[in-house]
Amino acid sequence: MGKSLRKALKTNPKLWGGRFRKKTDPQFERFSSSLKWDARLLPYDLKIDAAHVRALGRCGVLSGKETKKLLAAIDALERRRQSGSLKLDGRAEDVHSAIQMELEKLVGELAYKIHTGRSRNDLVSQSARLYCKEHARTLFSLLVQVQKEIAAKARGCVRVFVPGMTHLQNAQVVSQAHIFLAYVEMLERVKARIQGAMPFFDVCVLGSGALAGAAFPLNQKRMAKELGLSAIAGNSYDAAGDRDFVLNFLSCLLFLGIQLSRIAEDWMLRQLNGVSLIEVDQAFCTGSSMMPQKRNADFVELLRGAAGIFAGNFFGLVTTLKGLPTSYNRDLQWDKKYLFDSVEVGEEILRMTARVVRTLKINKARARMLLADESLYATDLADYLAKKGEPFKKAHDQVGEIVRFAEENGKPISKIGLDILRTFAPKIDGDVYGLFDPEHSVRMKKTQGSTHPHEVERQIKRWERNLNHASISL
């Protein structure tokens, strides 16, 4: 390493500085450094560096020897990264500068050539895309895992009947499996959104430079291929400052958060004292420092609350992007704080959710008790009358009156005599007493996707088939 280089490194670990007379304010330097976040981009940056070095070699900026030397150095850094022995210099402004510093340590002044025909603007935009692409795959497969666990749970409770609710009120009898399968559908839509976001990540923006393109004939097609990307950015001015791919990914995570929060709320309600339909395994609960009797389903609450993280990060970036001039602006650096936070929380809670689902207990005895509420069968009774030729609106009125009569007299409908029932609904026959049975209730459903046990079983089979072959493309 030359003397002047060592001196330069000591005083300037930056990728710029020649035109400055003053040193950067140390507090501002610490504040503006993104290394604390973007160190996560290290593996992607190294891949990009290798592709870029090969491109520089192909267009004659680097000799064959130089290309080899730089590729070997990048490879050495990658191996140290994998073994955990690569410690980036904390003085670096960002991960890109930190890598440059490491390369300088390995190959001296040759490292100065690597930044030919590129800017950190296209570099960071590329690196973040590769990060998104990989983590989209991870999230997708974690979602499949959770769906599989839920479908397996559903398999075990096709004939566990529970009150289904609307407006937080008991409404009609459904199979517990049917409710679980609703969660599988909800998560499937998150997967569809992630799949839809993939083309946004799958773009090669190298060659965009800072904004205007690069003055070297970098083979963008080759670089794209080497990085596993299928498209090349159409416009360098757009590519450097485009963060729609991050926003898109954050919106997928926002959808994930919304779905998980609704599922979590279902579980919180179903584990309420007095409802006690489900039990979250103790291993995912905590106690109270003051109230010895408490066992709180904390994981589920954290799952519900995580929606705030996803929404906050999405709105954070939306706010940063609003009104931002096109092309690169330093404001964009904040994107990674939002992105990494949402991705990391998303992956962690999905891993946990899979385990919580597996250990979730369904209280079948409680389910049977809750089904004693005969108002759950009121719709079945109205349908029964409609099938006997009563116009539905009239049947609805008649059953409403029967429910009111039963309530006022403190008697279940099934204990009211046929003669009295007929005063409200003349079309009622003796077979009416067979209606107040959960199995009968679900079997009355005739439509695709309904809670009829055959339909539920069909849904489970469909999911078991689909989920075994589920994979993200691109």
Q: Give me the active site residues, please.
A: 167, 288
Residue 345 contacts residue 250 (beta carbons within 8 Å): no
Question: Using CA atoms, how far apart are residues 286 and 299, in angstroms rounded to an integer?
Answer: 9
Question: Using CA atoms, how far apart are residues 166 and 99, in angstroms rounded to an integer?
Answer: 56
- Is the CB of 94 or the CB of 102 nearer to ligand ARG? 94
In the complex, least distance from residue 259 CB atom to ligand ARG, rounded to whole angstroms: 30
Enter the tokens of residue 358.
């597996």
In the complex, least distance from residue 244 CB atom to ligand ARG, rounded to whole angstroms: 15
- Is the CB of 95 or the CB of 264 nearer to ligand ARG? 95
In the complex, least distance from residue 226 CB atom to ligand ARG, rounded to whole angstroms: 22
In the complex, least distance from residue 161 CB atom to ligand ARG, rounded to whole angstroms: 54
* Amino acid code (one letter) for 330: R
- Is the CB of 206 or the CB of 376 nearer to ligand ARG? 206
- Is the CB of 73 or the CB of 246 nearer to ligand ARG? 246
Residue 405 contacts residue 424 (beta carbons within 8 Å): yes
In the complex, least distance from residue 163 CB atom to ligand ARG, rounded to whole angstroms: 52
Residue with structure tokens 């489970």? 460
- Is the CB of 313 or the CB of 333 nearer to ligand ARG? 333
The DSSP element (H or E) to which 362 belongs, if any, is strand 361-362
In the complex, least distance from residue 329 CB atom to ligand ARG, rounded to whole angstroms: 9
Enter the tokens of residue 373.
């509420």
Nearest to 456 by CA among 188, 187, 179, 266: 179
DSSP for 188-239, written as a single string: HHHHHHHHHHHHHHSEE-TT-TTTT--SS---HHHHHHHTT--EE-S-HHHH
- Is the CB of 28 or the CB of 283 nearer to ligand ARG? 28
Residue 286 contacts residue 298 (beta carbons within 8 Å): yes
Site residues (vs ligand ARG, CB under 6 A): 34, 38, 94, 120-121, 124, 328, 330, 332-333, 336
Question: Using CA atoms, how far apart are residues 460 and 181, in angstroms rounded to an integer?
Answer: 8
Residues whose CB falls within 8 Å of the CB of residue 178, separated by 6 or more in sequence, listed in order: 154, 164, 451, 456, 459
Residues whose CB falls within 8 Å of the CB of residue 204, separated by 6 or more in sequence, listed in order: 126, 220, 223, 224, 227, 229, 231, 232, 233
